[in-house]
Structure 1
Amino acid sequence: MTEPLPAGAPWPRNAWYVACTPDELAKKPLGRTICGERMVFYRGKDGQMTALEDFCPHRGAPLSLGFVRDGNLVCGYHGLTMACTGHAASMPGQRVKNFPPIRAFPVIERYGFIWVWPGDAEVADPAKLHHLPWAESDEWAYGGGLFHIACDYRLMIDNLMDLTHETYVHASSIGQREIDEAPVSTRVEGEEVVTSRTMPAVSAPPFWRMALRCAGLPENDLVDRWQICRFSLPSHVMIEVGVALQGQGGYDADPKLKASSIVVDFITPETEHSHWYFWGMARQFAVDDPTVTDAIREGQGKIFSEDLAMLEEQQKNLLRHPERRLLKLNIDAGGVRSRMMIDRAIAGEQGSEQAAAE
């Protein structure tokens, strides 16, 4: 059954969002709100991933406060047992099998993440899951983390599609004045919005000096630096970043002469003013060294903490002054086009639901 689309919901629903990572389900069910829907995630029989509405049909208690027994989810309030289909399975001394089912959400475990489809289950298509080649290759290493951020998820997309802020917000790690000075280009490639800039013959900032050391390259030599930000629906941003020794081809340089990676950003809406931010870095240097993974994770965590602080204060300001019109500059083109893509997806869903109702 298709649930009615909430009026004015600012996100596409018929899409795969990162819900959590497997380690979050190691000990007990996980309750999480995604796209305005309260969900509970747990492993059923044989480790099967399950996502249900976080609502016990008996008295409305959150099922996420319960536990798993024999592959079913047991409510922690009165013991009603729910099957992975959303149907009531049993309860001590009671007949419950005629209870109306609660909602079950399509869910996939792939690439080291748990993905959920919050929209119409009948059109959920695993083939629409964002492909992550780096997650399937031994030539890449990955490490990351999760933040809960109290701001509209689209503000994070704006942030990631315009990296000019690095000069100011991340001055001690990845920022440098050459970012401001380098021209930025914005284009649409198929189903992606792409912004890019290159910075030839610059000194590597602290984070990238560390990366050069890890790659076995001289950290004080001049480098050619690049940033290529790619937005795709519903709210993913993959950023190709790196530095290569000056004059060796930049982005196209021999891997032995550069330190390059993909900054991974999965931005999952929670409410209109909050989201879950799954961040990380996939890299092609020192892939067998876990100490490098830990060092990069720590560095990224500090960098994204600075974004978190800025974005949450930005959201507060916007809520204080809803009548203010914000100014747009040429550096905003990536975020603007990404929002246009989101708006078209939402309009398409609403049009399809309206047509189905007529």
Structure 2
Amino acid sequence: MQARPFLRNHWYVAAWADEVGRQPLARVVLGEYLVLYRTEAGTAVALENRCPHRNLPLSEGRLVGDTLECGYHGMVFDCTGACTHLPGEPAPPRWARVRAYPVVERRGWVLVWMGDPDKADERAAPDYNIRLADPAWWHVKGHLPVKCGYRLILDNLLDLSHLAYVHSSTTGNRALAEHATIAAETEGDRVRVTRWMSDIPPAKAFVDYAGYSGNIDRWQASEFMPPSYIYVNSGTAPAGRGVSPAERMRSQGLWGFVVYHALTPETASTTHQFWAMAIERRFVPPAMLPEFERQMINIPLEDVAVYEAQERAIALDPAANGDVRPFGMIAADKGLFAMRKILQRLYAEEQRRA
């Protein structure tokens, strides 16, 4: 099976903001063991989660002010990773240091920079999840530990034809796969895929919550941003009243929603999937919101079952095509092939500059 390398000079979501507090949080990102916590002032900190003395995870220790005390021999590390106190020694040795990772927060996401710290630019941190801070919008979020490589999830999110089969009880029906006009475009390092379905029967969720009784126009748009972010927009209107191609990336029409995905590789074959779905509050009656929330939480779980089954099949047959080079291409693959080419190019460029 081909290797699945990571891009390192990028920002990755390590946690939701409400996961990080005054209790040390252990997390593996790109194969590296991190500990996250907040200072007394509320600033998020990310350090290497391994004491340089005897390898006990620092997350097993305790916070003392803004420092982290190892639970084995009491070595104390500050926010820069430097050891500031070693019990019984006049001064800590020079080797007593752990790596500190640059951290930035964006609308509920705590992001870490996994590459060269001198190249960390906060302006490059993703800031597209704008609806999570909009009071006119309701949202639900989650963090799923997924037993598959992150590229399989990117594939799924750039090919929304799968809704017809994986999510047929809520947001999908066969018309999504049978009657879609697909367009894929690349702009710089971004890939946008739009799907347009004209005059089709509405899926169940669109009947239940939007009240459709006749056919609709429906559009879906997915946008990939390196290294592993996906924005999805879904909109609908009565048949014949759908929006123009220029509006399909942002407009929800008469009823629709947006989904934000941040995929953070844990290892080559496991991924942290941070997701959030947002919808205008006026689109869902308050009495229906609990059932709507339950359905939206279940949809990513339906996808996870597919991802993990794919990963098991890949692992069982090392001679197969793996997740890097599929045997063939269908119309729905336009975007994901473009995305994979960008990832390959960015990785090659990063290696040349290393």
- What TM-score does the superposition give when structure 1 sets the normalisation length? 0.88
The Cα shift of 1:189 comes to 2.7
**Which residue of structure 1 aligns with residue 114 of structure 2?**
118
Please say if residues 259 and 285 of structure 1, whose CA atoms lie closer than 8 Å, have aligned partners that are also in contact: no
More deviation in 190-199 or 129-138? 129-138
Please say if residues 89 and 97 of structure 1, whose CA atoms lie closer than 8 Å, have aligned partners that are also in contact: yes
> C-alpha separation between the residues in 2 aligned to 1:112 and 1:339?
28
**Which residue of structure 1 aligns with residue 242 of structure 2?**
249
Please give the per-residue CA displacement for 1:100-145, whole angstroms capped at 9, x wherever unaligned.
2211101112211100111110100001011223344444332211
> C-alpha separation between the residues in 2 aligned to 1:146 and 1:268?
10
> Aligned AA for 1:129?
A
**Which residue of structure 2 aligns with residue 328 of structure 1?**
329
> C-alpha separation between the residues in 1 aligned to 2:266 and 2:156?
18
Question: What SS does the corresponding residue of 2:282 show, helix, strand or coil?
Answer: coil
**Which residue of structure 2 aligns with residue 46 of structure 1?**
41
Judged with a 3 Å threshold, the aligned counterparts in structure 2 of structure 1 residues 73 and 292 are, in CA distance, closer, same or farther, namely farther
Please give the per-residue CA displacement for 1:265-300, whole angstroms capped at 9, x wherever unaligned.
111101000000011112234389877665444212
Judged with a 3 Å threshold, the aligned counterparts in structure 2 of structure 1 residues 277 and 89 are, in CA distance, closer, same or farther, namely same
**Out of 149, 153, 157, which is 1:152 matched to?**
149
> Aligned AA for 2:272?
W
**Which residue of structure 2 aligns with residue 171 of structure 1?**
168
Please say if residues 234 and 252 of structure 2, whose CA atoms lie closer than 8 Å, have aligned partners that are also in contact: no
1:56 maps to 2:54 = no
**Which residue of structure 2 aligns with residue 349 of structure 1?**
350
> C-alpha separation between the residues in 2 aligned to 1:242 and 1:294?
22
More deviation in 85-94 or 106-115? 85-94
**Out of 51, 69, 74, which is 2:69 matched to?**
74
CA-based RMSD:
2.4
**Which residue of structure 2 aligns with residue 356 of structure 1?**
none
Please say if residues 193 and 230 of structure 1, whose CA atoms lie closer than 8 Å, have aligned partners that are also in contact: yes
Q: Quote the sequence identity (%).
A: 33
Structure 1: gaps spanning 5 or more residues: 1-6, 213-217, 354-358
**Which residue of structure 2 aligns with residue 185 of structure 1?**
183
Q: How many residues align?
A: 342
**Which residue of structure 2 aligns with residue 222 of structure 1?**
215
Judged with a 3 Å threshold, the aligned counterparts in structure 2 of structure 1 residues 233 and 173 are, in CA distance, closer, same or farther, namely same
Please say if residues 139 and 277 of structure 2, whose CA atoms lie closer than 8 Å, have aligned partners that are also in contact: yes
Structure 2: gaps spanning 5 or more residues: 322-326
Question: What SS does the corresponding residue of 2:14 show, helix, strand or coil?
Answer: strand
- What TM-score does the superposition give when structure 2 sets the normalisation length? 0.89
> C-alpha separation between the residues in 1 aligned to 2:57 and 2:194?
45
> C-alpha separation between the residues in 2 aligned to 1:288 and 1:63?
45
Judged with a 3 Å threshold, the aligned counterparts in structure 2 of structure 1 residues 255 and 266 are, in CA distance, closer, same or farther, namely closer
> C-alpha separation between the residues in 2 aligned to 1:110 and 1:170?
30
Map 1:177-326 onto structure 2 (within 5 A): 177-181=174-178, 182-212=180-210, 218-250=211-243, 258-286=254-282, 294-325=290-321, 326=327
1:88 maps to 2:86 = no
Judged with a 3 Å threshold, the aligned counterparts in structure 2 of structure 1 residues 331 and 30 are, in CA distance, closer, same or farther, namely same
> C-alpha separation between the residues in 2 aligned to 1:267 and 1:345?
17
Question: What SS does the corresponding residue of 1:151 show, helix, strand or coil?
Answer: coil
